[in-house]
Amino acid sequence: MSAFLNDLLWAGGGFMPRSFSLATNRSAGLRPAAAASERKSDGRLRSLRRKLPLRPSRPRSGRRAEGAVLLTLLFTLGSLLAAHAAAPAPEFFFPAGGKPGATVSVNVGGKLDGWPVGVWTSHPGLTFKAATNSGAFSVAIGADVPPGAHHVRFFNAEGASEPRAFVVGRRDELLEVEPNDDYRRAQHVTQRSFVMNGRLEKAGDVDSFAVEAEAGKWLVAAVECFALGSSVDPVVQILDDRGVRVAFNHDTHNLDAVVAWQAPRTGTVHVQLFGFAHPPASDIAAKGSAAYVYRLTVTTGPFARTAFPAGVKRGAKAQLGLLGWNLDGAMQTVDAARAQPAERRLVVPGERTGDLLWLDVADGNELIEAEPNDAVTNAQRVTLPATLNGRISQPGDVDRFAFSAKKNERFNFQVRAAAIHSPLAARVRVEDTNGVQLAQQEGGDGTDPRLGWSAPTDGTFVVAISDMYGGGSALHVYRIETAPAPPHFTATLPTHAFFVENGKTNEIKVTVARVEGFKEKLTLSVKGLPDGVTAKADAVPDKNGEVKLQFLADANAKPASVPIEILLSAPEVRPPFTRAATFSLRGTETRGDRLLNEGHVAWLTVANKPAPPPPPKKKK
């Protein structure tokens, strides 16, 4: 504020500010909405200057008159600042990640009122230090920060932003250099394994990178764009030295793309990236925006996509074989000893590369398919309940498992494929020993089928799984779960952040679910409340539903903006068990997983004024 007032008092010998923006900098590039807001503010100040007698021709007392004018102007400016104040609303990071042990200059685009804003991260080794210009940070990544996506929040006296992902990886990190729109002007990269941080900044933008392929090795190009929160549907393609496309991909488990191409000879090839707006625009054309941030991994070295088996039994360790490219039979031990009953997935970095593996967690005995098992006559004999692990290893493959059942015995066959980022669009069915279909369920479009079925008689039956579209590969992994999870509970929050005014109460509703017949007593509490604020929760009912939770702030409570956890506990279970309530980070346009799908560290802001209005919704 002091620098702003200095500008105000001395610009051109009068009382007009050189720039009315405490948290934005034109040199850093304003968003159109922010620029319009600033122009509006400057216009109001120019209008104010015309109306106020800043240099009165007949002052009764020069200093007194000038002081009165200054106080009037400051009061008006205070009102303008208050009107513009809002919780931070970042739209992107650039770059959106870095390597352990590095310090990275990061630009954060969006609205960041009250510069410098505070920053909270989910790992203590990841620290953001604000620079002079609004939106500019120096980010230190400790050597102990593990690979993966980490939560980052920005906060001020008005509230906190929704967490966004900052990605830490093990490969070299590079920055895109324009112009590189054409493969003939591609940015040449000498590293054989790297992450390119770039942006599709303008309409029709195409980013091209020239890399060296090795004969017989796989060249892998995988982009994280939609997964970061960018509103873009990216496309990746590989061109040979003549500009002819040799490989292409559009979507995977989400809108992001992965291309793998085995080079027939050593030489220079070109990796290109472009994208379409998401949600889709009325026209079909490559789009651009400063917020279209991406991380493009390119490697001729090892790249892990998944594992087989594609999961672990809860409470156990397992040795998994990594699947992907250039891996040479790599194995990895995965530990699910601490997996909570409500956890269905583990996201684990590959030991050699840091690539994220999305793995299933289940509760039955782990069984591995044994080929051949593609016909009713050679179906693999299994005892249920169990977790069946397999692969639809080639186009047209069908895997069959034979099991015994009693009349009216109930089975629930839950397929896990899309949930762990397998390309399998699963179809699961139950047959009799003659191959007659008794029941069927299909997944597809990013969903997995669940088939509930009761045996009509005593006897032997077959559960069969295949790809809906006849596809198959080594990456088409699946798990069929028939053992239910242990009784447990979950708690869900309506949003990520809350606000309470001094001397007032804010009431929220926490959704509680009892799963698989959990019947024990549950209590709701809050961890991390600031001084002067207490929480009061209603009793948790014996059935599913909403529980009222009140935040109560004393009249003299000091302003605060802090992380909190809302905890649901089972105090009478031995040992006592507690689970943090979660909130969704998927957004409204869900097309598969993002790097961060939910969070459990919420935010509470305490202030001596009413809650600010919610941010305006983005125009499509």
Lookup result for tokens 């044994």: 370
Sheet holding 545-553, edge to edge: 488-492, 505-515, 545-553, 533-537
> Tens digits of per-residue pLDDT, 274-323?
999 888 877 777 888 999 999 999 999 999 999 999 999 999 999 999 99
Q: What is the rounded average pLDDT of the residues 383-403? A: 98
State the burial class of residue 384 (Cβ atoms within 10 Å of its Cβ: 0-12, 13-18, 19+).
buried
Q: What is the pLDDT of residue 618?
A: 55
pLDDT higher for 191 or 1?
191
Buried b vs exposed e over 260-283: b needs ≥16 C-beta within 10 Å? Answer: bbebeeeeebbbbbbbbbbeeeee
Residue 125 to residue 36: CA distance in whole angstroms: 38
DSSP β-bridge partners for residue 295: 197, 224
Residue 134 to residue 29: CA distance in whole angstroms: 10
> Tens digits of per-residue pLDDT, 556-610?
999 999 999 999 999 999 888 999 999 999 987 678 999 999 999 999 999 998 8
Quick one: residue 21, left, alpha or beta (phi over 0 = left, psi -120 to 50 = alpha)? beta
φ and ψ at residue 199, rounded to 5 degrees = -140, 140
Hey, is 71 helix, strand or coil?
Answer: helix
Q: Is the pLDDT of residue 9 over 90?
A: no
Reference 386, options 285, 468, 311; nearest CA is 311
In the structure, what pLDDT confidence band is assigned to residue 49 with cuts at 50, 70 and 90? very low
In the structure, what pLDDT confidence band is assigned to residue 11 with cuts at 50, 70 and 90? very low
Sign of the Cα torsion 493, 277, 591, 173 reads negative
Q: What is the rounded average pLDDT of the residues 450-458? A: 98
> Tens digits of per-residue pLDDT, 92-137?
999 999 999 999 999 999 999 999 999 999 999 999 999 999 999 9
The DSSP code for 182 is: S
HEC readout, 399-459: EEEEEEECCCCEEEEEEECHHHCCCCCEEEEEECCCCCEEEEEECECCECCEEEEECCCCE
Sign of the Cα torsion 21, 22, 27, 33 reads negative
Q: What is the pLDDT of residue 73?
A: 33
Q: What is the pLDDT of residue 564?
A: 98
**Cβ pair 345, 358 in contact under 8 A:** yes
State the burial class of residue 145 (Cβ atoms within 10 Å of its Cβ: 0-12, 13-18, 19+).
buried
In the structure, what pLDDT confidence band is assigned to residue 381 with cuts at 50, 70 and 90? very high
**Cβ pair 244, 267 in contact under 8 A:** no
Residue 344 to residue 359: CA distance in whole angstroms: 9
Residue 348 to residue 359: CA distance in whole angstroms: 8
The DSSP code for 21 is: -
Token reading at 417: 């494929």
State how beta strands 450-454 and 410-416 pair: antiparallel
Determine the number of helices (DSSP H) and then strands (DSSP E) in the chain: 3, 46
Length of the chain: 620
Q: What is the rounded average pLDDT of the residues 3-17? A: 30
> Tens digits of per-residue pLDDT, 197-225?
999 999 999 999 999 999 999 999 999 99
> Tens digits of per-residue pLDDT, 131-170?
999 999 999 999 999 999 999 999 999 999 999 999 999 9
Q: Does an H or E element contain 262, and which?
A: strand 258-262
> Tens digits of per-residue pLDDT, 28-38?
333 333 333 33
Token reading at 217: 């090795």
Average pLDDT, the chain: 87
All structural domains of the chain, each given as residue ranges with its CATH number in brackets, are 2-84 (no CATH), 89-168 (2.60.40.10), 172-301 (2.60.120.380), 310-359 (no CATH), 366-481 (2.60.120.380), 488-607 (2.60.40.10)
Sheet holding 89-94, edge to edge: 89-94, 103-111, 136-141, 126-130
The DSSP code for 184 is: G
Q: At what angle do helices 2-10 and 62-84 cross, to 10 degrees?
A: 130
State the burial class of residue 312 (Cβ atoms within 10 Å of its Cβ: 0-12, 13-18, 19+).
buried
Question: Between the CA of residue 574 and those of 313, 419, 542, 571, 577, what are the distances in Å?
Answer: 22, 31, 19, 8, 8
Q: At what angle do helices 32-51 and 62-84 cross, to 10 degrees?
A: 160
Residues with Cβ within 8 Å of 405's Cβ and at least 6 positions away in sequence, in order, are 411, 455, 458, 459, 460, 461
Buried b vs exposed e over 202-219: b needs ≥16 C-beta within 10 Å? Answer: eeebbbbbbbbbbeebbb
Residues with Cβ within 8 Å of 303's Cβ and at least 6 positions away in sequence, in order, are 218, 220, 222, 260, 297, 324, 325, 326, 327, 353, 355
Q: What is the pLDDT of residue 616?
A: 63
> Tens digits of per-residue pLDDT, 344-377?
999 999 998 999 999 999 999 999 999 999 999 9
In the structure, what pLDDT confidence band is assigned to residue 3 with cuts at 50, 70 and 90? very low
Q: What is the pLDDT of residue 252?
A: 94
